[in-house]
Structure 1
Amino acid sequence: MEWNFVTESIVKLLLAVFCGFLLGLERKTHNHAIGLKTLVLICVSSALLSLLSSFMATNEVFAPIGRGDPTRIASGVISGIGFLGGGAIMKTGLNIRGLTSAAVIWTSASMGLAIGAGLYIQVGVSLFLVLVLLVGLERIEAKWFPAEKSKTVHLCYEGDDIDLKKIRETIEKHGLIISDMNMSRVIVSKQTFLHYTVKSPARTIYTPLIEHLKELGKLCEFSITD
């Protein structure tokens, strides 16, 4: 084994650590389960497997001339990394979390394989674009599409003389987007129950909404859940 190959391999593995660290740091700053250790390990192991694949394909001991296939291990990495990506996706109430983290896992693995193949410039450009997009697109989504969390609003009014149109308008004025509504009424106690499925901004203060809803009737119960 030539020393220049060993030196180049060490440089590639260190670069994989750097890329995985930056991607993991971005995820951790947003309080996601996928973080530094996970993405560093994925990126480094992918780079090592890429180096192993290339070495075994070109070394006569493992692969006679004309028989080596450097893409075999890489294709196995691409197939296997899907299990980790699937484990990052979780359903919490009406919301699904982890899709971006799963995509970052794929990105980390692909960068590790590319580093192992020696595509330094391509990896550098990809890393820059990914980090810029992860930060920039989040700000764009927060500004243009603030209602991102699916929640259920439960209301209970005493009596049956409530104005559903005004209640809907009041809810929407406070930044909630209504996607569905169900109503039930208890005849004996003269109570009306309203159940709204809404999209809500990540940070919302509901006290003003409650106060305005109280002005529309005898509000006896309010709750909002994921």
Structure 2
Amino acid sequence: MIEQSVWQISHLDLTLRMVLAAVLGGLIGLEREWSNHAAGFRTHILVCIGSASIMLLSIYGFSEFAAEPNVRMDPARLAAQVISGIGFLGAGAIIRNGSSISGLTTAASVWVVAAIGLSVGAGFYYASVLATFLVLVSLFLLNKWEKHLLRHRRNQEIAIKIFDKPGSLGRIATKFGEQGIQIKNVVMQSVNDLSDGDTGAGGTMELRFTLRTANADKLLRAIDDILALPDVIGLESGSLPTVRMSALSGGKSAAGKG
């Protein structure tokens, strides 16, 4: 016979679990915030605290009914709903940009933080701290190792908007070649959306390059050289900060997006 005290928790222990959930969730969220991802510091703290609260509620929130006849306590009943329901929040962090998908790691970190919060709420301290440590190792160290290991295998996708003039494509391709960047594929599409009609000889065109390079610095240098070309209107990249250029005013201006 399980004693009724099993379903009781002191205010001190409850406070400890809630604070620990905030700390562990915040540590993971801090890495996501530092990397400028959608779900950051506060989001991870809220998810972890919320999960811990639901776990505490599931275990101790109905303690007054524990001694009632024909009542069976199931501490996992609310926790199961958290695991299945947290997916909608993670899905909001997933972004599709052309053929590339970003945000999967952040979505996974939100899901893991929910599990950590449930563990803290259940008093499973060692597993909570160990899971947090392994997640931080994965996000910090394994992320760098993965980039180093796959640096020769990953393609970069860049869209460049240009005035459709003879030789424009060749000049851009030359800039990539000067930096030793391999062009895997080029897709050309006509675009005519400039408001004043000053598009040069043949309107505007969007070039979508699939590139392969092991050196991000060389890619950035090539982009700088390309943006300096008179025929280039704008440039966008799914893996690098987006740069938009305006050639309609007297000079060119750039703005970055994380």
Q: Where on the TM-score scale, by shorter chain, does this alignment land: which range?
A: 0.7 to 0.9
Cross-structure match for 1:197: 209
| SS of corresponding position for 2:15 | helix
Tell me the alpha carbon deviations over residues 153-177 of structure 1, each in whole angstroms, 9 at most, x when there is no partner.
Answer: 4676626xx98xxx59x73673645
- Distance 1:210-1:37 versus aligned 2 partners, 3 A rule: closer
Q: CA deviation at 1:133?
A: 1.1
Q: Which amino acid aligns with 2:105?
A: T
Q: Which residue of 2 aligns with 1:71?
A: 76
For residue 39 of structure 1, what is the aligned residue in structure 2?
A: 44
The equivalent residue for 1:6 is 11
Give the gaps of 5 or more residues in structure 2: 191-200, 238-258
Contact 1:21–1:36 under 8 Å retained in 2? yes
- Alignment correspondent of 2:22: 17
Q: Structure 1: where are the runs of 5+ without partners? A: 212-218
CA positional deviation for 1:114: 0.8
Q: Which residue of 1 aligns with 2:95?
A: 90
Which residue of 141, 152, 163 maps to 2:159? 152
Contact 1:180–1:197 (8 Å) recurs in 2: yes
1:52 alignment partner in structure 2: 57
Q: 1:17 to 1:199 in 2, by over 3 A?
A: farther
TM alignment of 1:145-184, pairs within 5 A: 145-146=150-151, 147=154, 149-153=156-160, 158=166, 167=173, 171=176, 174=179, 176=181, 178-182=183-187
Per the TM alignment, residue 56 of structure 1 is displaced from its structure 2 partner at its CA by 4.4
Whole-Å Cα distance in 1 between the matches of residues 72 and 37 of structure 2?
A: 43
Change (3 A) 1:194 1:52: closer
Residue 29 (str. 1) matches residue 34 (str. 2) = yes
Q: Percent identity?
A: 32
Other structure's SS at 2:157 match: strand
* C-alpha spacing 1:64/1:7, structure 2 compared with 1 (3 Å): farther
Q: Helix, strand or coil for the counterpart of 1:158?
A: coil
Distance 1:171 1:28 in 2: 32
- In the superposition, the TM-score normalised over structure 1's length comes to 0.73
- Distance, in Å, in 1 between the alignment partners of 2:94 and 2:38 is 10
For 2:231, what is the secondary structure of its paired residue?
Answer: strand
User: Which structure features the higher share of helix residues?
Assistant: 1
Query: C-alpha separation between the residues in 2 aligned to 1:76 and 1:141?
Result: 33
The corresponding residue for 1:101 is 106
Is the alpha carbon distance of 1:56 and 1:194 closer, same or farther for their aligned partners in structure 2, counting shifts above 3 Å? closer
Letter in structure 2 aligned against 1:225: E
Structure 1's consecutive aligned runs of 4 or more residues displaced over 6 angstroms after TM superposition are none
Between 25-34 and 11-20, the greater mean CA deviation after superposition = 25-34
Q: Answer yes or no: is the 8 Å Cα contact 2:29–2:42 preserved in 1.
A: yes
Ranked by relative contact order (alpha carbons within 8 Å, sequence separation 6 or more), the top structure is 1
- What is the aligned residue count? 214
CA–CA separation in structure 2 for the residues paired with 1:37 and 1:123: 19
Structure 2 CA distance for aligned equivalents of residues 148 and 20 of structure 1: 33
Taking structure 2 as the reference length, the TM-score comes to 0.65
What residue identity is the alignment partner of 2:210? V
Shift of 1:125: 1.1
Q: 1:225 to 1:127 in 2, by over 3 A?
A: same
Alignment deviations for residues 122-157 of structure 1 (CA, whole Å, 9 cap, x no partner): 111111111011011221233333456532246766
